Chain A
Amino acid sequence: MKWLLVAIVVATTTVGEVVQAMGMKHHGEIHDFSPTALGRVLATLTRNRYILISFLAMAFSFFAFMALISVADLSFAVPATAASYVMETILAKVLLKEHIGFKRWAGALLVTGGVTLLSM
């Protein structure tokens, strides 16, 4: 049960975050942080298809995560669900066309290794 929940959390988190990053790049950089401007940004985002899909995926991820930490230690749950990292970094390169140089790959691998050790 624990591992099934981990798999659900990982899959929905990956889809949610990659699609959210797509949506925010589609929206464009936020420059102005005044309350009025932020209100306008939120209004625009409610009509952004990518953001709506990402919210749906993250809602699934959130409730699966809640179920997971109700049966497992937080120090198991958080690192175990970090497998979404590797997939997200690969998808960032393939789908989002991000430039991932040596330092970023090394950093991502170190973090993944660290998170794996953390879950042992």
Chain B
Amino acid sequence: MIPSYRIKTRIFTVIVILTNVFGNFLLGLGLRQVGSLVGRSPLAYIFALFNPLVAVGVGLLIAWMLSHMALLSWADLSYVLPITSIGYALTAFMGWIFLHELVSPTRWAGVALIVLGVIMVGHTAPRSPKPDAVAEPETVLEEVFTR
């Protein structure tokens, strides 16, 4: 089970984005049921975890954390950050559809800019060449084909 660098970058990028969007979404939905946590005891946070939506949301965010870590083991932070930010656009979209939150034209313009930025960064190689080491020939070839 050793997938190629290009395939695993794509797969993990999609997992990181989806677990983040759905995790935050369910957490937000669950916390609306729980009510404000500000100024309440730490126990209130623990009890909030017993809300099913909060629990599933937290589970997805743990999956997000692990897949994000795996992706960072080979890809640059400055690549992963902007690429996975498409999640912000999806979050706005889901808030609009499911939570009936208001999305103004300004916010839609924001979504458009994010998509443009993601396309830009998507055109760069996911990892920087190592400055102090001779790259393995296989890696060099793979990065040439990834572009």
Contacts and interface: CB of A to CB of B under 8 A. Distances in A.
B56 interface: no
B75 to A, nearest CB: 9
A40 to B, nearest CB: 13
Q: Is the interface of B mostly helix, strand, loop or mixed?
A: helix
Nearest to B65: A58
Interface residues of B, number: 61
Contact of B114 (A28, A111, A120): A111
A13 B89 CA distance: 19
Nearest to B112: A114
Contact of A30 (B61, B74, B95): B74
A70 B123 contact: no
A7 B30 CA distance: 23
Contact of B121 (A20, A70, A107, A115): A107
A88 B81 contact: yes
B38 A117 contact: no
B146 interface: no
Contacts, number: 181
Interface residues of A, number: 61
Interface string A59-83: 0001100110111011101110010
A104 interface: yes
B120 A110 contact: yes
B3 to A, nearest CB: 7
Given A32-B2, A70-B31, A75 B114 contact: no
Contact of A29 (B74, B103, B106): B74
Contacts of A27: 73
Given A79-B110, A117-B110, A108 B103 contact: no
Contacts of B13: none
A25 interface: yes
20 contacts: A17-B77, A20-B68, A30-B73, A32-B1, A75-B92, A79-B88, A92-B78, A96-B78, A99-B76, A101-B124, A103-B121, A110-B116, A113-B117, A114-B113, A114-B116, A114-B117, A115-B85, A118-B88, A118-B92, A120-B106
Interface of A: 1, 5, 17-18, 20-21, 24-25, 27-34, 37, 45, 51, 58, 62-63, 66-67, 69-71, 73-75, 77-79, 82, 85, 88-89, 92-93, 96-101, 103-104, 106-111, 113-120
